[in-house]
Homo-oligomer: A and B are copies of this chain.
């Protein structure tokens, strides 16, 4: 443990999850800053950590994890100009430069989606870390190892590429399940029936590769089925547009010379 007093700023899912894991590892956060004390009570009360709504105590910490939404980071940083500890944000997409006004700064980005009502094991969640000094790198790495076995040292550029990739594999995958759900609901069917298929698809992608695991009408250039699907989607023009674009992408990739 390289940091004595650990402060966390934020009342969102990331702040809450980090607090919860620290408590679980029997490390007591020094304090949690939450701008709105009412909200603080609501979200952090079950964790029995001191919640503050002024920065005075936070500034006594050795490490502050700024776990607020991207657009609020700059405002929070303005309170840490004379801070002597290490300040890190948890954003996948914001530069570490955003914390330049703090002498010792870095990034602590957990590659995971977090909700308050979900228990997450962090053991295999990659933690992407960065610090602007060698010394803090070491300390932050040791700290990160409390949370996860997978700590990756990662500069801004790589972290941003990983974040962009995460939008495809997480947010857009969610969207595909959402459209699938919509198409099932019309027929009074629950998304649940897709679980074995989706689980196996994802498992195959990781065990083998997404390229090798790909099946379906576009992959086998089955234009009769594609046409039938587009016809079925004619009442859902937005979903049809998505179907067409993704189908074209697959057909072009695997059947460049056979395209209609």
Contact = CB atoms under 8 A, between A and B. Distances in A.
A169 B161 contact: no
Contact of A181 (B118, B195, B210): B210
Interface string A166-185: 11111111111111110110
Interface residues of A, number: 85
Given A160-B232, A222-B70, A210 B178 contact: yes
A47 interface: no
B193 A173 contact: no
Main secondary structure of the interface of A (DSSP, over half): helix
A229 interface: yes
A163 to B, nearest CB: 8
A81 interface: no
Interface stretch (A28-36, A52-60, A196-204): A196-204
Given A181-B209, A204-B118, A196 B162 contact: no
Interface of A: 69-71, 93, 111-113, 115, 118, 120, 124-126, 150, 152, 158, 160-162, 164-181, 183-184, 186-187, 189, 191-202, 204-207, 209-211, 213-220, 222, 224-225, 228-229, 232-233, 238, 241-243, 245-246, 249-250, 252
Given A161-B187, A162-B184, A174-B204, 11 more contacts: A111-B193, A113-B204, A161-B186, A164-B233, A167-B243, A169-B176, A170-B215, A173-B177, A173-B198, A177-B202, A241-B245
